[in-house]
Amino acid sequence: MKKKTKMIIVISTTVIVIAALLIVILKTVGGNLDVVGKSSAISFEKIINQIPDKATADDMNAGWSLEAPDGSAKFIWSEDYSKSPLHDVMLELDLKPFTNAGLDTSKLPENYAAYEGKLMVGTKLGSNKFTYSGDPTPLKAYEQIVKNYRSSVGYHTALDHYNVNVGDGNLFEWAKDMTTNGSTGENQDKDIVYVLNPEPLIAAGVDPKKVEGWVYAQVTVDINGKPTQVYKFLKPFNLK
């Protein structure tokens, strides 16, 4: 009986200690254990501030766009998902490099569209109508993605990038730190990257080696927790 009593006391004490540690951890991180979500917003704001003239309102999609320095690509994200017509997050790209490489636009999947010299791919996240404190901003709209659709935000270990999945393996990525790749310790020269899944485009006739302005290469991604090599179309930019 004494042994059982001692065991109960030990277990109870352990539970109390663990609970206390959890409280300390929660207080340390401001009550938020989602480090990726919180840090991604901090880094995203730095990217916007680095190229403020490229972060502009996108009235057609009821949101914002972040345009590449050469104007060849945009990441677009809505600020009110009850108003966005088709997609809440998307990439809009120059169409010509893909048609020149053999793209038959009639063979594109439903989440793609070709119009006015542009290629668009995106996804609908939901139908939430968001309420903002103060005026809407590009950052506040991004924070709504983190808050309401957290599974769309990821971290790419090899490049030390955060990203938003715009559907079907297509991504917009940005550097956690524009100075150094924390995974390799090397200089970070890919501050933003527009990333395309090549498979639907190849199925629609694209010769991946003939797409001008895009790099067709293997990158390391985490699939089910395991580093895996996959091919992607990449359009990286150094903003510094």
Dihedral over Cα of 194, 199, 205, 207: its sign: positive
Q: Which residues contact 45 (CB under 8 A, 6 or more apart)?
A: 139
Q: Per-residue pLDDT for 32 more than 90?
A: no
Cα first-last separation, the chain: 70
Tell me, yes or no, whether 92 and 163 share the same domain.
yes
78, two tokens: 């809505």
Helices and strands per DSSP (H, E), number in the chain: 5, 12
Return the bridge partners of 226, or none. 223
Q: Per-residue pLDDT for 61 more than 90?
A: no
- Report pTM: 0.84
Tell me, yes or no, whether 225 and 162 share the same domain.
yes
Q: Residue 6: pLDDT band by 50, 70, 90 thresholds?
A: low
Tell me, yes or no, whether 14 and 44 share the same domain.
no
Tell me, yes or no, whether 15 and 132 share the same domain.
no
Q: Residue 70: pLDDT band by 50, 70, 90 thresholds?
A: very high
Tell me, yes or no, whether 144 and 108 share the same domain.
yes
Tell me, yes or no, whether 70 and 26 share the same domain.
no
Tell me, yes or no, whether 21 and 88 share the same domain.
no
| Distance between CA atoms of residues 117 and 194, nearest Å | 18
Which of these ranges, 80-94, 110-124, 138-152, has the smallest mean pLDDT? 80-94
Q: How many domains does the chain have?
A: 2
pLDDT at 126: 86
Secondary structure class of 130 (helix, strand, coil): coil
Tell me, yes or no, whether 41 and 157 share the same domain.
yes
Average pLDDT over residues 205-234: 92
Tell me, yes or no, whether 156 and 221 share the same domain.
yes
Tell me, yes or no, whether 56 and 113 share the same domain.
yes
The answer to whether 204 and 190 have CB atoms below 8 angstroms apart is no
Q: Taking all residues of the chain, what is their mean pLDDT, rounded to a whole number?
A: 87
Tell me, yes or no, whether 53 and 25 share the same domain.
no
Long-range contacts of 150-157 (CB under 8 A, 24+ apart): 150/34, 150/37, 152/89, 152/125, 153/36, 153/37, 153/40, 154/36, 155/36, 155/40, 156/221, 157/183, 157/220, 157/222, 157/227
pLDDT at 150: 93
Dihedral over Cα of 230, 201, 188, 161: its sign: negative
Tell me, yes or no, whether 209 and 161 share the same domain.
yes
Q: Which domain holds residue 156?
A: 34-237
